[in-house]
Every structure is written in C-alpha cells, then in structure tokens.
Structure 1
Amino acid sequence: MTSDNDKKPPTLNRVLEEARRNIEVEDDELDEARDRRDKLRSVLAKEFAESTTYVNGSVAHGDALTPLTDVDVGVIVAEAIDTHGPGKEGPRGLMDRAANRIREELKDDYKRLSVTVEGQKRSVLVRFGDPVTPGQRDFTADVIVAIENCSGAGLFIPNEDSWDRSHPVGHTGMVRTANKDKTGYTYAKVVRLLKHWNRSNGKPLCSWNIKALALGCITGRVTMVEGLQTWFAYAHAELGKGETPDPAGVAPEPIHINEAMTMSQVRDKLAKASRQLAQAIEYDVAGYPALAQNELAQMFNDKDMLPPPDETALLGESRRYDNHRRPQAPAVIASRPAAPSVRPWAP
C-alpha cells in the first residue's frame, strides 16, 4: 500500500535514501568486524568452559554506520553463577581472566594489540591497533563478562567493583524483531539516519537511547520521511516525561541523555529538527525540491552525507517561492503613481 508521504514528498524520500547509503557500513568493513568479534567469542568460550557468548551493539543490531570503529561482545560465565554477583565477588577477577586470555590468543594476529581492564567501568577494552575502516585510528571491542540473573530477567554486568542489572541479549532480540519481523528492515534504515543526525548535532542522545525510543514508535513499514517525522515527535514527547526507561524493563536506571546537556537543550534540538523536516516537506509538496533538499541538508549538518542542492537551482526556486508568497499590490488610481514595492529585510 502506498503511503501519503510516498505521494507527497518524492524528492525527500529519494534524497534520504541516497544519504542513508552514504553512511551505511561497507560489506568488507562488516566482514572484518564480524571476524574479529568471532575470534573474541572463541577466546571467551575457551577461557570460560560451558559458558554462553552473545553479541550486542550496532553490528549485531544491523544499524552500523561507516566508519565502523567498534564491536560489542559478551560472555555469560556459567562457572561464576554461585560465586559472583551482588553480595558476592565482584567482576574484576573475571575481567582479568578474559583480558589475559585475549592477549595470549590474539597477540600473534594483531601485533599492536592492547587489552585494558584498569579504569574500565563495565568492559574489557580491546584495542586491535589496526583499523577496519581505512583512515581511522583504530578498531576496538568492548568485552563484557556477565552473570546470569537467577531471580529475574536479564543479566548482571560489571559496574566497577559491583554489578548492575541489564538485558543486552533481550535488547538485541527486541531490535532484530522490530527490524526484520515488524518493519521490513525500515527500522534500521531510519535509525541509521537518526544516529547520523545525532552525531552531527552535538550527540544529545546515545545510540541505544535513539533505538529504544524507536522501538516505541517505528512499529511498521515506513518511508524515511515517515520514520523521521514519527520519531522526532515521539522522542520530544517522551523525553518531556523524563529519561527513557529500559525497554526490557530490567535496568534500574533510565537511559541517560548527554551529561553535558540539560533535558531542555536536548528537547530543543529535537524540536528544531522536527521543524526543519516539516519545512522541507512543505517545500517539496509545494513543488520546490531544491528548497526542500537545502532544508534537509541543514538539518543533518553534514554535506558529505547529504549535500546541499545546486546553487543555481536553489536561487531560482528561492526567487520563485518569494514571488509566489509576495502579496499582490492593491489597485491604484491611474492618475496617481504607484509607490515602489520594498521587500522588508529578513535574515
């Protein structure tokens, strides 16, 4: 079934589809990232016998952007279920074991490999010393050692010397279901655009916050325009109630906004983007595709991802749009010369 936005703003949907392709991760990047992630899973399985490994993050969720700089992998340590967790041993010993085994197993494959536990709040940080995307400084992995939560849903994951409840396996399942089963992969397409808008506009939200909010509003097949409109309106309204709760209902803390911003500042950014998108749609529906693309380019704030239109076309449309909007001069008496028309200055 064809949606209204398929009929109304054809230029915007085409431009957004091209922009999405510009930020989509390349197949060779994905292949290399998955290979490194699988090596880590294999190492963790060796160190922690009879344990289960899992994946999380943008590569697992299917919404990775280029340049690809990291992956997320975890292990649910079966042997520690009775000895570690809240009120028992902390995570440091398990993190050290994972780090030591990764160093030993992968040192020959990656000559500049660096594995860090000290100072890490949640994960073992693996620096490969070898980027996946040309031109980047490095490629990293966050490795989580987790404990099964026997009294409820989800896992216990490290929080410095203690443990927090979380549900990374459930999160990945929710995103994959939304993407494949509910939206025909349009969820991931819209999320990619939103993640790029976010990183080009001061990063008011983390990627997981964007996806968690999208789980609440991108629930069927949508065009790029429909998805963005829906998400900005929904996110602005939801954040007006407070920070986003864990969609799995497990984590005790909500998903925090950028700590350098107030909630009002975050919502102002969302409102501004929503207005820019609405203006772009209005231009496109009225037959001004260059003006529409220019508005969208300003919203995304990255000319490499979504370039502005040709300047000649933009100038021509601007003049035509102004002429269309200018009020008609009232009739005058023939014997009296008409006053010159003066257009007020506007920024």
Structure 2
Amino acid sequence: MVRKESLAALLDEGRRKIQVTDEELAEAKRRRRLLAASARRAFPGSTTYFNGSVAHGDANTPLTDVDLGVVLASKAAAPYGPGRTSALPLMEIVRDAIRDDLNGEFPKLTIEVIGRRRAVLVRFGDPVTPGQSDFTADVMTAIPHPSGRGLYIPNTKIAAGWDRADPITHTRMVLQAIDDTDVVFARAVRLLKHWNGTHSKPMCSWNIKALCLDCLDCLDEPMPLINALQIFFTYAADEIGKGPTPDPAGVAGPIPLNMPRVEVHKRLCTARKNIDLAIAHEKAGRPLLAQHALHQVLLELVPDADCTAEEADRLARTIRSGGASTSGLGLVSGLAAQTRPRAWGD
C-alpha cells in the first residue's frame, strides 16, 4: 500500500532530518566561547557578539562553521576606521591570541588573515560533525560606528578598508522573530536554506532571513510550515522582482545576490508555483500529487511520489466535468513518463 502523508508531516520529517543535533550545537558553542575569550583577552575592554546560523537558531546539519565578532572599546578603536588605519593589525592581533590559547587543544589549528575580506578564518582541523573534513570559525574585528548605530567591519577589498553593518541588531531581530512566531521562523529558514542549497544557491542565507523578517514576523499567530513557505516564496518573488533586498537594520547597503537577479527571480517563481500546487492538490484530496509538487522545492528532503494513478483520476474527473484536461491545477511536467523535471524553471 502506498504511504500517503500530509504536507505538514512531510515538512516536519524533513526539517528534523536537517536540524542540527544537540551534540553538534554544544561543541560548536563551546569552541565559540573559547574564541570569544581569546578575542576579549586580545583587546581589553572589548565586547564580543555572536551571529550566523548558530546564534540565529537556524543551523542545519552538518554543522561546519560558527561566526562571532569582537568590538573594540572606543578609545582602543580611535586609530582605526575609514581614512585611518585598516583592520589588518587588529586581525593579526586576534590571530595571535587565538593561536596562543587554542593551539594546545587543537594541534592542527590554522588561522588565516592574508587575503581574508572581513574576518579571521580559524580552521580547527577537527570537525564538529562526524564525517566532515573540518570545522571553521569567522572572527570579525569591529569598531563602533561614530553615530552609535551599528559597527564598522573590515572590508579589505575596498580602498576605505571598512564597511558599515549591524550584525548585533540582525541577531536580535531574528531571535525576536523566532519568539514571535513560536519557532516557525527558524524552522522555515532551515527548509529555505535547504531549498537554496539544492537550487544552485541563488541567495545568501542572510538574504533569505531578511525577507523572512518582512513577511513572517508580522503575522498574528503561528502558522503551518507549508503556509510559511508559501508566504515566503510569494513575497520573495515579488520583492526580488523589484530589486535587491535592503538591510533590515537600515545601516548597511542592499544584500547582494549570488547570481543575476532574473535567474534568482525565476527560481523563486518556480518554487512559488510548486508550493501553490502542493497546497491545492492536498486540499483536493490528492496527497501524492501534493508530495510530488513539494518534492520539486525540497529536493533530497521530501521523497518523490509516484502519482500516476492520482493524475489519471484527476484528468478523468476533469473530462467528465466538461473542463479542459489541462485546466485548473496543472501537473508538474514529466509525470506520465516519470522523468525528473528541472528544479528551477525553464
């Protein structure tokens, strides 16, 4: 007998498959604490902050990296910034402190500064997730912005040497959204990052979260994950169609895409179409067609379904009712021959 599952069950199973384990998370946070302690030792009076997927509560397995920053005290930061000294001396100082503090526990530790755009890259030489090649950390050396809003963070690829950003506010906004949506925000982001990773990575993870902050954190009550995905793809396709995503904190510039905007828009529209199909098929009592449509969005996470019989029945009912055989809810292409359709549009 063919197993038929609801979209809610499929998504719940899927997000559990990719959710980071407690063991991975605990070890990643321990190493992050070690790095933060080294950074504060390197710069007396400084503060540290955490950002990225571990800090945002949306990390997937395998867990391969962690992000954090150190903010110099105002007096220590005075010689640095646009038009003054670059971040390179700060990056070298924190590199040396981390090496002194962690080399004993991690004998394969390597730390890169030269060629790094924004952060010191720490390679532990020891993975957090079994089977992975390594675990890394980006350690940012930042200084307060004179306005009091946000920070100056390194950018070694531009003449000024620094960019304005506000990663601390970003993390606060994400954590608030998780609380406001009863964790739906984090679970949706996990699934969306999987979609992104299996469709040529058209967007960075922060762009996904920034769009989610606009469309998921303004609802009155928690929602099913399938509806959260539908809202995201509808909103994201419309917004990316208009232009780049602005910084939610209103400090940094627009968030860049990983490929031409027309290509990103195409992938978002295709995902929106398949999510709409999945919901409509489920409402019409066609769970296998619904699963097949959802599979197109979450490749490798939601298994495909052989829904030939359901499609034949749908077509027969359409013909008997006098409608065109392709009217209404069209089937995702390729079912009759059981060929795999393209995952992201024509």
What SS class does the counterpart of residue 70 from structure 2 fall into? strand
Counterpart for residue 189 of structure 1: 187
Shift of 1:346: 7.1
Q: Which runs of 5+ in 2 are unaligned?
A: 323-334, 338-346
Q: For 1:265 and 1:327, how far apart are their aligned partners in 2?
A: 40
What SS class does the counterpart of residue 248 from structure 1 fall into? coil
After superposition, residues 56-95 of structure 1 pair within 5 angstroms as 56-78=51-73, 79-95=75-91
Counterpart for residue 164 of structure 2: 165
Q: For 1:295 and 1:151, how far apart are their aligned partners in 2?
A: 49
Could you say what the CA RMSD is over the residues aligned between the two structures, in angstroms? 1.8
Shift of 1:60: 0.3
What SS class does the counterpart of residue 126 from structure 1 fall into? strand
Which of the numbers 145, 151, 172 marks the counterpart of 1:149?
145
Shift of 1:185: 1.1
Q: For 2:128 and 2:317, how far apart are their aligned partners in 1?
A: 51
- Between 293-302 and 227-236, report the one with greater CA deviation: 293-302
Which of the numbers 103, 106, 122 marks the counterpart of 2:102?
106
Shift of 1:111: 1.2
Name the amino acid aligned to 2:255. I
Counterpart for residue 233 of structure 1: 234
Q: For 2:124 and 2:313, how far apart are their aligned partners in 1?
A: 55
Q: For 1:94 and 1:66, how far apart are their aligned partners in 2?
A: 32
Name the amino acid aligned to 2:235. Y
Counterpart for residue 137 of structure 1: 133
Q: For 1:279 and 1:83, how far apart are their aligned partners in 2?
A: 58
Which of the numbers 268, 271, 282 marks the counterpart of 1:273?
271
Counterpart for residue 255 of structure 1: 255
Q: For 1:328 and 1:211, how far apart are their aligned partners in 2?
A: 44
What SS class does the counterpart of residue 74 from structure 1 fall into? strand
Shift of 1:112: 0.7
Q: Which runs of 5+ in 1 are unaligned?
A: 1-9, 330-344
What SS class does the counterpart of residue 199 from structure 2 fall into? coil
Tell me the percent identity: 47
Which of the numbers 35, 49, 53 marks the counterpart of 2:48?
53
Residues 238-293 of structure 1, C-alpha deviation per residue, up to 9 Å, x if partnerless?
A: 11221111110101x210001xx211110010000000111111111111111111
Name the amino acid aligned to 1:68. L
**Which stretches of structure 1, 4 residues or more, deviate above 6 A after TM superposition?**
none
Name the amino acid aligned to 1:149. H
CA contact (8 A) 2:121 2:139 kept: yes
Counterpart for residue 301 of structure 1: 299
Answer with 1 or 2: which has the greater Rg. Answer: 1
Counterpart for residue 315 of structure 2: 322
Counterpart for residue 340 of structure 2: none
Name the amino acid aligned to 1:272. T
